[in-house]
Chain A
């Protein structure tokens, strides 16, 4: 059974960089033909897609965050990572990782997020 688990600091200072890792177990990222995504949820608000990375490294980002976001993947460790630079209080949120779409030469399918990690709260505060 595929499982995802987020890890990283729970507190980040304003203007610094938020870094999170998503460890994937129960299945391999390598040659999965899958995108792997990051989604966040500010306190009391809805879901916001941050970006997704293909197993081979191709990325898509939310245009509203693109200038500050980098998502990378390490297939040897079966994990992918999120970096968000120059954070502000409004970046305080629960950050989730999840498996995203399946894409092959014939196109993409399963364009949904399943399963999800349990989420990790990141607070931006001095």
Chain B
């Protein structure tokens, strides 16, 4: 089955840019979605279809996807950006649909 690999943790100083990666075989051919989850809360969609943002998500959040790596970038990082971030794709195998989540990256703001 399809696998998405995310680094377990990323640390960044306030005001800097956080770069979170999601690696998968030929992931550039798939649409990648990103979720933010703060402790004790449900996940929230922050980027969909590689780079689009839902309404209400600041433009500090941006995404890209090419080759084997999808990336979520968070510019001008704030303390409120701390949490776990998950990438997700749909995988179609013949007539079966599978939803795949990456293992998640814990973002720490130093």
B10 to chain A, nearest CB (A): 15
Selecting from B16-24, B71-79, B92-100, the interface stretch reads B92-100
Q: How many A-B residue pairs have CB under 8 A?
A: 60
User: Which one of B42, B90, B102 lies within 8 Å of A118 (CB-CB)?
Assistant: B42
Judging by beta carbons under 8 Å apart, are B45 and A60 in contact? no
Smallest distance from the beta carbon of B18 to chain A beta carbons, Å? 19
Evaluate contact between B33 and A47: CB separation under 8 angstroms.
no
Tell me which residues across on chain A come within 8 A of B42, comparing CB atoms: 96, 116-119
Return chain A residues, CB-CB under 8 Å to B33.
111-113
State whether A48 and B101 are in contact (beta carbons under 8 Å apart), knowing that A112-B88, A114-B48 are contacts in the complex: yes
Q: Within 8 Å CB of B14, what residues of A?
A: none
Chain A residues with Cβ under 8 A from B13's Cβ? none
Q: Which chain A residues numbered 1 to 58 have a C-beta less than 8 Å away from chain B?
A: 37, 46-49, 52
- Choose among A48, A63, A112 the residue that contacts B45 (Cβ–Cβ < 8 A): A112
Chain A positions within 8 Å of B, measured between CB atoms, are 37, 46-49, 52, 60, 62-63, 96, 100-101, 108, 110-119
The chain B residues found within 8 Å of chain A, CB to CB, are 1, 31, 33, 35, 41-45, 48-49, 54, 84, 86, 88-90, 96-104
Nearest 4 CB-CB pairings of A with B: A49-B99, A112-B33, A114-B45, A116-B42
